[in-house]
Amino acid sequence: MNHLVLMIDDQEAHRILVRRALQKIGPQVEIAEAESLKQAREFLADGNTPSLVIVDLNLTDGRSTILLEELQQSGLNLPVLVVSTSALESDVEECYRKGASCYLTKSTDPVQFGSDLRQAVVFFLRQLTSEE
Amino acid sequence: MPSRVEQFPTHPRVSMALRGFVVLAGVAFFALIILSADARRPEALLAMLLFSILSVAIIVLTRAKPLMLAREISERLARPELKLGTYRPTTKSSKGTPPLEQALRASLELAERYELLTTNIAASVVIFDRDRRVLFCSPFTEVLTGYHAEAIYSHPGDFWGEIVVESERDKYDKAWSFAQLGEDYSVRYQVHHHDDIKLWFDTQFVPLCDDGGNIVSVMCVTVDVSELVNQRKQVEEQNRDLTDFTYMVSHDLKAPVFTIKGMASALLEDYGQSLGKDGHALIQHILAGATRLEKLIASVIEYSSLGRKEARDVPVDLGVVLGSVLEDLAEQIRQTEAQVLIESKLPTVRGDDVRYYQLFSNLIGNAMKYRAPGRRPQIHVRAQSAGKDMAALEVTDNGLGIPAAKLEDIFRPYHRAHGSEIEGSGIGLASVKKIVEKVGGAVSVKSIEGEGSTFRVTLPLPPPKPQSIPENLRRYFEGDR
């Protein structure tokens, strides 16, 4: 079962690191990248149907909580994983309140972060497969 | 306490005696006239005697009134609550000047002195009647309000109340209601100056009452505190801006640190083989540098959050706090073979438990970090009382100590006493200082280089428990729940 994962982050280096982490899951995960909320919206509007979204909390053209709200309203039922350097409780709370499925801090250990991210992605994708 | 504006009593006894004697003298005089036909009759002699005595009495009494008045004035001037001490008039009166004249001179002089004071003081003195109309205003009132005295006097209503800024009117009215109950009250509020600027005033209300205890007027002494208030606001704003800025910047700095670490790890992962031992070492240095950067950023965030976040105000058992600190530092204690001795029972203080954890974590962590090489760290913690509502805590170590030249600066953020030898962020002690100063305490250090240091912090004790209230009166104290 192939899955399309949409990854949104304005920093190229971070996109590279996330891609590296996800690639280790296996060939069944296909990764699409977007640099901004605008690009992400265009991607979705083009008819693409990702199974999962990974998004950084603060992007150049806005806070991704806006996207969270939009996705909630669209009824797409898309699991969204928010990643951020911020470990602020208020940020975490806000994201969960607005419908994020998961919040991961880009913690001090990138290797650990990668492995945590993989675990989360696998978990949610498995949920989707079992739902189908 | 309201001040008394007293009127001199009218010496009723003297007046009555005087009237009585005048009447009697009149009677005696008429008796004399009737009897004077035969001056040798004993009744005539009696009448003459009576008349003479009464005349003398009348003359004495007419002097007594001024004498008593003079005494009254002198006693008033010497009254303790006027705080004049024994008032001695500076104009020396020559011997023989009647006492009333002396007393009047003294009070005139005092009146002149006070008039000079109210005319020249850089404050407004205004006396209002109970309807808030202006009875008197000192010259500086014109400067302070921007209105001419004539305009102030002739204003039909509550002049002062009308120049108070609308949003501050409540504060001003509240002060007035206290004054009308006889309470001295001071209040700070904003006012519209005539020239269209807003000023901050500090006014002291002094109610004045008569003999019967009724408030007859209120005296208000007002100073302009605009500069003080504006400066304070500016400083607060600057502080806030700086704290916000520091916080934001440090968060933004985390992203590139993640990149550096991530990419260095990726290099190791993909090219570890071809890099060889030397290449590995280089990459480890990159990672170490990034980690150090991360720690610095974290400490900046921590330090600036002390200014941003609200602190709790609850009872905190320092024994429990110290227990957690020691538990969390267990690894470091084991590695350094440190001995921690708590010499006395630690008190319960008030404040924020998380911040006090940080405080002791910093102090004890430092004691181990800055240990003397070759010596097992020995750390003593003791508690003392420091006055009625503070407790003092001392943490003593046998570590490196602090060079005398650096003692003054170590509580400043980012200052390090042993920066070249030992890694650190420089905000540990600065955080301790910020934490204690926010609760009204203080931190100090005694140290001998090479021998060790003692850090002393004072923290507030919780307020004493309220006395138990009888059940039937409880609702008056706790209100409706």
Q: How many CB atoms lie within 10 A of CB B26?
A: 12
Over pLDDT 90: what percentage of chain B? 38
Positive or negative: CA dihedral B210, B213, B216, B218: positive
- Show residues of chain A in contact with B255, CB under 8 Å: 11, 14, 85, 106
**For B266-310, how does the pLDDT look when each residue is reduced to its tens digit (9 = 90+)?**
999 899 889 888 999 999 999 999 988 888 888 877 787 777 677
**For A54-98, how does the pLDDT look when each residue is reduced to its tens digit (9 = 90+)?**
999 989 898 999 999 999 888 888 899 999 988 888 889 999 999
Mean pLDDT of A99-115: 89
In the 8-state DSSP scheme, what is residue B6?
P
In B309-349, which residue ranges form alpha helices assigned H by DSSP? 318-328, 330-336
Choose, out of A85, A88, A116, the residue to mutate when testing the contact with B (most B CBs < 10 Å).
A85
Residues of B with CB under 8 A from a CB of A: 251, 254-255, 258-259, 261-263, 265-266, 291, 294
pLDDT over 80 at B453, yes or no: yes
Query: What band does B469 get if pLDDT is binned at 50, 70 and 90?
Result: low
**Nearest residue, CB atoms, A11 vs list B251, B255, B265:** B255
Q: What is the mean pLDDT of chain A?
A: 90
CB contact under 8 A, A11 and B259: yes
Token pair listed for B255: 């992203």
Q: How many helices (H) and strands (E) would you count in chain A?
A: 5, 7
Asked if B460 contacts B336 with a C-beta cutoff of 8 angstroms, the reply is: no
CB contact under 8 A, A106 and B254: yes
Q: Which residues contact B308 (CB under 8 A, 6 or more apart)?
A: B243, B244, B247
For A107, nearest residue in chain B (alpha carbons): B258
Identify the bridge partners of residue B189 per DSSP, sorted by sequence position: B201
**For B102-156, how does the pLDDT look when each residue is reduced to its tens digit (9 = 90+)?**
778 878 888 888 888 888 899 999 999 888 899 999 999 999 999 999 999 998 8
Per-residue pLDDT at B361: 92
Token pair listed for B329: 């530092």
Query: What band does B100 get if pLDDT is binned at 50, 70 and 90?
Result: confident
A5 to chain B nearest CA, in Å? 21
- Show residues of chain B in contact with A111, CB under 8 Å: 265
pTM for the full predicted model? 0.56
B262 to chain A nearest CA, in Å? 5
Which run of H or of E encompasses B299?
Answer: helix B226-308
CB contact under 8 A, B255 and A86: no
Question: ipTM of this predicted complex?
Answer: 0.90
**Nearest residue, CB atoms, B255 vs list A16, A85, A111:** A85
Burial of A71 (0-12, 13-18, 19+ CB in 10 A): buried
State the Cα–Cα distance between residues B228 and B355, nearest whole angstrom.
Answer: 32
**Nearest residue, CB atoms, A110 vs list B251, B254, B261:** B261
State the Cα–Cα distance between residues B292 and B419, nearest whole angstrom.
Answer: 14
Per-residue pLDDT at B114: 86
**Nearest residue, CB atoms, A17 vs list B254, B266, B291:** B266
pLDDT over 90 at B474, yes or no: no
What is each CA distance from B205 to B3, B176, B181, B187, B189, in whole angstroms?
A: 11, 8, 11, 8, 13
B255 to chain A nearest CA, in Å? 6
**Nearest residue, CB atoms, B265 vs list A85, A86, A110:** A110
CB contact under 8 A, A17 and B291: no
Over pLDDT 70: what percentage of chain B? 88
